[in-house]
């Protein structure tokens, strides 16, 4: 072999080795993020997760990849939050029901009848108050990027139609592990039973609890009509969800990747809201079609009057000025 041919062969080998090394380096740099959430893929949680994943993977050229774990595959919401803090879970979408135990200030958004309607709630959470609330997660070992949505919570049960406050007396109602929710239902005369979501369907089937309360989006995705007879559209609490990242995972990201994750979370949040808007229109009719007896409206003023002792507790805990500022938001 001539010198020139040997030189060419050596150069080709060096080039191939360089390409292989570069490819291996790129592969090594790809960061896989496990994202966990409580409901099925075809839910508002799943819609948020998919939009978030698509946005991030496109923006980062695949340097960050999502792997979805739906239907509590990584544990209930409390376990997901603890996993984020420990760094065993990279990303999660979690309701405020569980978050109050980790970031107590979040509990203010769970106060019954605090928000006039969906637009009011979205304006509050997208505005200064909501963004300041997200910033408070950092001190609790969490990175919070956006507020998604579940919708307004309603009541279901297997005993009888709930048309007024008196009908709640003695009903064993599953609630989230949330002090604000527990106080509200106890004040209304029910027997609130804190329970992780993965346990709820079995408890309803066995009669351990009489009912539960959740938005129509959850009712539809979980097909609660299979285990519940009565639905009352109480609209008692607006239910947001937080799109969260583990600080351990966040610390491994470049500034560009962090920006992509933040922008992707906002798109995920909007996707969850769009899903809720769509399901709110058809979910109740689907429940009726599957045999649920539906009470379309309750006297919310009567519920508020019954909750007066609870409101005094909430004002002491969160500050009357905070509650007034939320109420005054246009």
Query: pLDDT tens digits, residue range 13-28?
Result: 444 444 333 444 344 4
User: What average pLDDT does range 301-330 have in this prediction?
Assistant: 97
Q: Are 267 and 52 in contact (CB under 8 A)?
A: yes
The dihedrals phi and psi of 152, each to the nearest 5 degrees, come to -80, 140
Query: pLDDT tens digits, residue range 142-151?
Result: 999 999 999 9
Flag whether 316 is in a domain: yes
The dihedrals phi and psi of 285, each to the nearest 5 degrees, come to -65, -35
Flag whether 223 is in a domain: yes
Flag whether 245 is in a domain: yes
Query: pLDDT tens digits, residue range 160-202?
Result: 999 999 999 999 999 999 999 999 999 999 999 999 999 999 9
Q: Which of 240, 241, 229 minimizes the C-alpha distance to 157? A: 229
pLDDT (0 to 100) of residue 30: 86
Average pLDDT, the chain: 92
User: What average pLDDT does range 214-229 have in this prediction?
Assistant: 97
Domain that holds residue 182: 31-328
Flag whether 25 is in a domain: no
Flag whether 17 is in a domain: no
Flag whether 24 is in a domain: no
Flag whether 217 is in a domain: yes
Query: In this model, does residue 5 exceed pLDDT 50?
Result: no
- The structural domain count of the chain equals 1
Q: Are 151 and 39 in contact (CB under 8 A)?
A: no
Flag whether 152 is in a domain: yes
CATH number at residue 287: 3.40.190.170
């Amino acid at each position: 072999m001539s010198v020139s041919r040997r030189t060419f062969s050596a150069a080709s080998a060096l080039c191939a080795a360089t390409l292989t090394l570069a490819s291996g380096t790129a592969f090594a740099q790809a960061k896989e993020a496990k994202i966990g959430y409580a409901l099925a893929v075809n839910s508002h949680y799943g819609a948020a997760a998919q939009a978030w994943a698509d946005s991030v993977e496109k923006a980062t050229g695949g340097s960050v990849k999502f792997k979805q774990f739906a239907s509590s595959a990584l544990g209930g919401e409390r376990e997901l939050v603890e996993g984020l803090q420990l760094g065993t879970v990279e990303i999660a979408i979690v309701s405020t029901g569980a978050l109050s135990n980790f970031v107590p200030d979040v509990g203010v958004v769970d106060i019954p009848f605090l928000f006039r309607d969906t637009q009011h709630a979205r304006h509050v959470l997208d505005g200064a108050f909501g963004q300041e609330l997200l910033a408070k997660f950092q001190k609790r070992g969490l990175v919070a990027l956006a507020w998604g949505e579940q919708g307004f919570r309603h009541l279901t049960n297997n005993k009888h139609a709930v048309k007024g406050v008196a009908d709640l007396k003695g009903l064993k109602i599953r609630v989230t592990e949330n002090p604000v929710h527990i106080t509200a239902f106890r004040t209304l005369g029910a027997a609130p039973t804190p329970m992780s979501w993965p346990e709820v369907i079995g408890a309803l089937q066995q009669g351990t609890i009489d009912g539960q309360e959740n938005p129509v989006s959850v009712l539809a995705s979980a097909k609660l009509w299979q285990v519940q007879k009565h639905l009352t559209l109480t609209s008692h609490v607006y239910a947001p969800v937080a799109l969260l990242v583990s600080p351990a995972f966040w610390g491994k990201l470049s500034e560009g990747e962090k920006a992509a994750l933040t922008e992707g979370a906002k798109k995920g949040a909007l996707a969850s809201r769009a899903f809720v808007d769509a399901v709110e229109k058809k979910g109740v009719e689907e429940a009726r079609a599957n045999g649920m007896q539906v009470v379309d409206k309750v006297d919310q003023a009567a519920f508020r009057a019954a909750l007066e002792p609870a409101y005094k507790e909430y004002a002491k805990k969160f500050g009357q000025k905070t509650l007034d500022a939320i109420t005054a938001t246009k």
